[in-house]
Amino acid sequence: PSQTQASAISQIPMFPRFMLPGTFDTHLKTAKRHLSDISTVGRFTPLLPQHISRRLIQNSFFEIMTDHQLLDLPSFLTLIDTQYAASDVEPAGELARGAAVNAFIALAVRHKTAPGSEAELSGIADRFYQNVIAVLPELILKEPSLLSLQALLAMAIYAQAIQDSRACTV
């Protein structure tokens, strides 16, 4: 590699801080505990911390979109930043945006889950999918938009891999 490339490579960490040995397990345990502690009174599972969601999406977006190009990465990153600015728990007035963000995070978590660890991590992806299921009737009945269609398509992509035939049951 050229000197510029070598310099750039040395500045890019191999793993983000949240995935360093010892740190990842701690974050995973905290996330799972947080998800299991969520009250059934609440309607939505809170999103992952924004820096984790962004990194997860950036590292999986092109692989997920290989067969289904629903939108481009810069547009989605803007969408995810807008959602986090509004709320990291609920759609905050924009069902389609909240549904799309949750559907893509569910896809990204599932896509980046290492073979053999599906049982350990599938519940996390399923929680974000359930966030989308929670707004499905409203999403279908509201005025159609490109974003609502993209959210529904992302949901369908996720549902393709679900063995349970009641995957979209509300």
- Place 93 in a pLDDT band, splitting at 50, 70 and 90: confident
| Number of domains composing the chain | 2
79 plus 139 within the same structural domain: yes
Q: Is residue 23 domain-shared with residue 61, that is, in the same domain?
A: no
Residues 31 and 58 in one domain: no
**Does residue 22 carry a pLDDT above 60?**
yes
pTM summary value: 0.74
Is residue 25 domain-shared with residue 67, that is, in the same domain? no
Same domain, 82 and 112: yes
Residues 56 and 133 grouped into a single domain: yes
Supply the range of the domain harboring residue 98: 43-160
Biggest distance spanned by C-alpha atoms of the chain:
57
Per DSSP, the residues of 45-71 read PPPPPHHHHHHHHHHHHHHHTTS---S
Examine residue 13 and state whether it is found in any structural domain, yes or no.
yes
Q: Is residue 91 part of a domain?
A: yes
